[in-house]
Amino acid sequence: MRQVLKVLTIGAILATVFTAWMPIGIIANALGGRVEPAPIEFTPFDDSGFPTPTARPRPRIGLVAGHWGNDSGAVCGDGLTEAEVNLTIATLVKGYLVERDFDVDLLREFDAALAGYRALLLISIHADSCNYINDQATGFKVAAAVSSTDTDRAVRLQACLRARYGESTSLPFHSGSITADMTSYHAFEEIHYETPAVIIETGFLNLDRPLLTGDPEIVAEGILNGILCYIYNEDLGSNE
């Protein structure tokens, strides 16, 4: 009986060792391929408890359409008004900026929103007289808000607009007729002191009228290019 127990014990040990060292594939084949891995179950991730990502605010730019909502501005003999010319150009500039993912406020001359207005920049768009003055009464003018606490940014915006507008329109810079109405423009005192601002007279409604009314897209592109020059800190070279 003792011998039978020894034989059974040795047999059990050998069977255990044989099974432990046998490759799994041999066992599977021996069982007719019936050994299969247990399926893994995935639980869908529930993100309902997480906050929705907030979109980054887009840069904001203010455009004042000169005289719009207040008066006609300069009036030509055939009834053309400066206000309508300014509004056409400002609307085009706004469209070009929106296409480039800027938020743009198109403001009236004495818009209530100007009080404490904060933005990357503000440009007030105007045009000059319809009257014939002389053959030199052609070209554009730009004046900066010197009341800004950061005059460097205002002067930089002025330089960019002067350079790029001149390049785009081929109009000369008419520096000799910049008036106190431009350098002390009312909106400069109304907006937030950190908002750099300029006023531009896009041309004379007499000699420059073919450009201002016939090709306002070129005029608007000149203003756009000045804005982009300032925002992207483009090199002005000798034009600054």
Domain count, the chain: 2
> Residue 203 falls within a domain, yes or no?
yes
| 35 plus 145 within the same structural domain | no
| 14 plus 127 within the same structural domain | no
Instruction: Yes or no: say if 61 and 97 are a contact pair by the CB < 8 Å rule.
Output: yes
> Residue 29 falls within a domain, yes or no?
yes
Instruction: Yes or no: say if 105 and 61 are a contact pair by the CB < 8 Å rule.
Output: yes
> Residue 149 falls within a domain, yes or no?
yes
Q: What is the pTM of this model?
A: 0.76
| 82 plus 36 within the same structural domain | no
| 118 plus 25 within the same structural domain | no
> Residue 239 falls within a domain, yes or no?
no
| 70 plus 187 within the same structural domain | yes
For the beta carbon of residue 13, count every other beta carbon within 10 angstroms. 10
pLDDT in tens for each of the 240 residues of the chain?
555 455 445 555 445 444 444 444 444 444 444 445 455 454 454 545 545 555 556 889 999 999 999 999 999 999 999 999 999 999 999 999 999 999 999 999 999 999 999 999 999 999 999 999 999 999 999 999 876 677 899 999 999 999 999 999 999 999 878 888 898 899 999 999 999 999 999 999 999 999 999 999 999 999 999 999 999 999 997 544
> Residue 238 falls within a domain, yes or no?
no
| 98 plus 162 within the same structural domain | yes
| 79 plus 126 within the same structural domain | yes
> Residue 153 falls within a domain, yes or no?
yes
| 16 plus 130 within the same structural domain | no
| 90 plus 200 within the same structural domain | yes
| 37 plus 104 within the same structural domain | no
Question: Considering the chain, what percentage of its residues have pLDDT values greater than 90?
Answer: 66
**According to the model, what pLDDT value does residue 57 have?**
61
> Residue 50 falls within a domain, yes or no?
no
pLDDT tens per residue across span 135-190: 999 999 999 987 667 789 999 999 999 999 999 999 999 987 888 889 889 999 99
CATH code for position 178: 3.40.630.40
Domain hosting residue 25, numbered range: 1-41
| 190 plus 86 within the same structural domain | yes
| 199-226 core/surface letters (b: 16 or more CB in 10 A; e: else) | bbbbbbbbbbbebbbeebebbbbbbbbb
> Residue 47 falls within a domain, yes or no?
no
| 28 plus 138 within the same structural domain | no
